[in-house]
Structure 1
Amino acid sequence: MSSVHVPQTGPNTAGPTPDHVDSLATVLDLVRSGTARTRPEIGRYSGLGRTVVTQRVNELSACGLLEEGPLGPSSGGRAPRELRFRAHAGVVLAAELGATSVGVGVTDLAGHVLAELEEPTDIALGPEQVLGHIEELFDRLLTDIGDATGGAATAVWGIGIGLPGPVEFATGRPSAPPIMPGWDGYPVRDRLADRFDAPVWVDNEVNAMALGELRAGSAKGQWDILYVKLGTGIGAGLVSGGQLHRGSQGCAGDIGHAAVSEDPTVVCRCGNTGCLEALAGGAALARDGLAAAREGRSPFLAEVLGTSGTIRADDVSRAAQGGDRTSVELLTRAGRLVGSLLATLVSFYNPALVIIGGGVAGAGDLLLAAIRESVYRRSLPLATRELRIARSTLSDQAGLVGAAFMVIDELFTPERLAHWVEPGSPAGFPGLVDIPLRTPLL
């Protein structure tokens, strides 16, 4: 792979001073978030003087990040001109990889999805084939966006990738992922940075889902949340103090391989026994549903097996919703196992909100009820006094949206903004990912 370079802001390699960039980032964030829409509002929220606000707005407008909007409401004098963030100045490419499918999308700089595709894949095919497929899908989406805008430029400002396994966030490399043979240590970030000449961030898919809910879903405005993905595998994303918590190496929240049983007969894909994922994940539901069908314990599943030749987790869900007793027992048992582990996490971490997402989360009220019952019964009363447990509102889009916001959050940190604000775009500067932050995004 070719080496990446860190961009400079111009002839003065020292760039803007930290205080200058901090004030630029503050003004930009106030407008981007919708907190302030006029210069007087920026001054009130930021504490910056009127002259400084005017200077920073002019700088951000000159480099194409802000633009004038309509007149705002008057507070007695001349009506102020509203300011708008130019979310259409560039695009972000995002991809969420699961065990059996991949979702890719293009968003604007405010995280709004402009176009998306979802296709089946097999993560076990390895990084060369899977990432090659993703690159083709990105190219297709960029072409579609270009056609829809009459050939307008679609500069790629950054790329966000969510992978279904542990990721060392600092390097963007998977680390011994249980369901991803051939991916260990693969330079995902470097490959895509070379291909699209843009900064790339790679994270675990569940962290991306948690970030999606935090920025654009049911957790918006919350400070302490726990996002739980119930799919083929099981994982969790933690948000503490309004920031994603990845841990020191990036593997915080890997609850799927926590031991919840001493049963030595069920071996997990990680090689251990008794893992939550091996007993309550989507693959576990499919396995147990297949056994029930073959043993004649579920006429509904036996009929599905006879027709399709296999049993999937969603077949068990449909059977349970149709009143199939065995399927109800399987879902209830899975919910109680998940809920029992979450009860420990709720008492330990004390979130205000637990969000249940992923494919298995769509199994209906039965699974959610079993999870809630275990959590409320086994957690500390103080920890559950105001706790909400709810389904994801973003559903299948959570990981995609979160991967885009991962890029957006990183690009607009003051340290990185300092390196691209003068040229007006981070496109062409993949080395931005290597710039250290004074206060790291956790």
Structure 2
Amino acid sequence: MTATIPSDQLDDLVLVLDLVRSGAARTRPELGRRSGLGRTVISQRVGHLMRAGLLEDGELGPSSGGRAPRELRFRSGAGVILTAELGATSISAGLTDLAGNLLAQRTEASDVARGPEPVLAQVGALFDDLLAARPDAQVWGVGIGLPGPVEFATGRPSAPPIMPGWDGYPVRDHFARRHNAPVWVDNEVNAMTLGEFRAGAAAGARDYLYVKIGTGIGAGLISGGHLHRGSQGCAGDIGHTAARADTSVVCRCGNVGCLEALAGGAALARDGEAAAKDGGSPILAERLAENGVVTAEDVAWAAQNGDRAALELIQRAGRLIGDQLAMLVSFFNPSLLLIGGGVAGAGDHLLATIREVIYGRSLPLATRDLRIVRSSLGDQAGVVGAAFMVLDELFTRDRLAKWIDAGTPAGLPDLTAA
């Protein structure tokens, strides 16, 4: 159902709701001061939002000399958002309230190369598990992060290098049918970037760069306070840029010499296993004998424990990644660079090498106030960011107009077309 709200009233409703949702205004007098709207208009718009079930009265606020004003609260518990971050080797699913607060999370091993149907069935089972603890929760939306390029307008993966069988798969439609709710799909690194920006270490940073170093390597950009996806949605795909090093290694995308193929988690595991087999690393040889494989985490652990071959692999990866990031830092000039992902969190040597290269190769002005730190949200960044992706879309002016009188976007999967 499309609301027939006059344009000026809709603008006022969006403004008032955003001020309360963000915490910028907590009382009606504060709304007046922040918005510039008159007392009568504030009263009317707050009443409209209360009837829609989006706002409610809270406790009495501090008095400035007269009667204490009643605080206003956004009803963040009116519904829930289902989210999932799919990596190459794992799935993390989450449930948040309407303020993006993480209520529950489940993580399982998975293999995205199995194809969309079994992997999305696994996501669906995790969603069912999360909802089982809250049987009365109303699903307002679903947010999905995928480990490959996604055309944001359609929610379909586009020729993802590590996702055979996923090209063009209607991920959005799959979950829209299942939950009868609007669904948005993006690259997982964009979700992580948004999560840190809205609820983590990048809060308040208007220009910042997030880099995930896991099985693959990707980046997300916040520019001027907004997530920059690019014209088709594939901005930040640095894993498949050409590294200035060995060009004989074939990447999973089919090209040679890609950064991911030389410095990502799969590359560290491959080179670590080679070091174990040729006698270069006794520690990794022991891991190989015990487990049958060497992982990137094994290489990082061995480096932390003084294994020379492993340390050389970590430092080589750090130099290659640092070279690419130095170019981005000089080009984009962020105030903050966050490093996340499983490999990045495995030890200090990688981050130290990346820092050294960036500060040594970037323009002095670009690095004068640059902070390079680890992700603060860790494995929660993707599921939290996917929730904010959904919330930001639901509360846009044009979409809010389509569901405000119903009081909920649940049951309106076609909202994504707005």
For the aligned pair, the TM-score class normalised by the smaller chain equals: over 0.9
Task: Work out whether residues 225 and 352 of structure 1, in 8 Å CA contact, stay in contact via their aligned partners in 2.
Answer: yes
Deviation at 1:195? 1.1
Q: Distance in 2 between matches of 1:271 and 1:18?
A: 51
Counterpart residue identity of residue 51, structure 1? T
Q: Which residue of 2 aligns with 1:225?
A: 208
Task: Work out whether residues 115 and 145 of structure 1, in 8 Å CA contact, stay in contact via their aligned partners in 2.
Answer: no
- 1:31-430 equivalent positions in 2, closer than 5 A: 31-146=20-135, 153-261=136-244, 263-430=246-413
Deviation at 1:265? 2.5
1:309-361 per-residue CA deviation (whole Å, 9 max, x = no partner) reads 11000000110111111111111111111111000000000000000000011
TM-score (norm 1): 0.94
Q: Distance in 1 between matches of 2:6 and 2:114?
A: 48
Deviation at 1:286? 0.3
Q: Distance in 2 between matches of 1:116 and 1:375?
A: 35
Q: Distance in 1 between matches of 2:179 and 2:391?
A: 17
Task: Work out whether residues 244 and 320 of structure 2, in 8 Å CA contact, stay in contact via their aligned partners in 1.
Answer: no
4+ residue stretches of structure 1 with deviation over 3 A?
none
Deviation at 1:262? 5.3
1:408-440 per-residue CA deviation (whole Å, 9 max, x = no partner) reads 1110111111111111000000111111xxxxx
Q: Distance in 2 between matches of 1:331 and 1:307?
A: 22
Q: Distance in 1 between matches of 2:247 and 2:381?
A: 35
Q: Percent identity?
A: 69
Please, which runs of 5 or more residues in structure 1 have no aligned partner? 1-6, 10-14, 147-152, 436-442
Q: Distance in 2 between matches of 1:291 and 1:352?
A: 39
Task: Work out whether residues 346 and 383 of structure 1, in 8 Å CA contact, stay in contact via their aligned partners in 2.
Answer: yes
Q: Distance in 2 between matches of 1:30 and 1:213?
A: 21
TM-score (norm 2): 0.99
Q: Distance in 1 between matches of 2:301 and 2:198?
A: 32
Task: Work out whether residues 149 and 234 of structure 2, in 8 Å CA contact, stay in contact via their aligned partners in 1.
Answer: yes
Task: Work out whether residues 322 and 355 of structure 2, in 8 Å CA contact, stay in contact via their aligned partners in 1.
Answer: yes
Counterpart residue identity of residue 93, structure 1? L
| SS of 1:359 mapped into structure 2 | coil
Match of 1:8 among 2, 5, 14: 2
257-266 vs 170-179, which moves further: 257-266
Task: Work out whether residues 261 and 275 of structure 1, in 8 Å CA contact, stay in contact via their aligned partners in 2.
Answer: no
Number of residue equivalences: 418
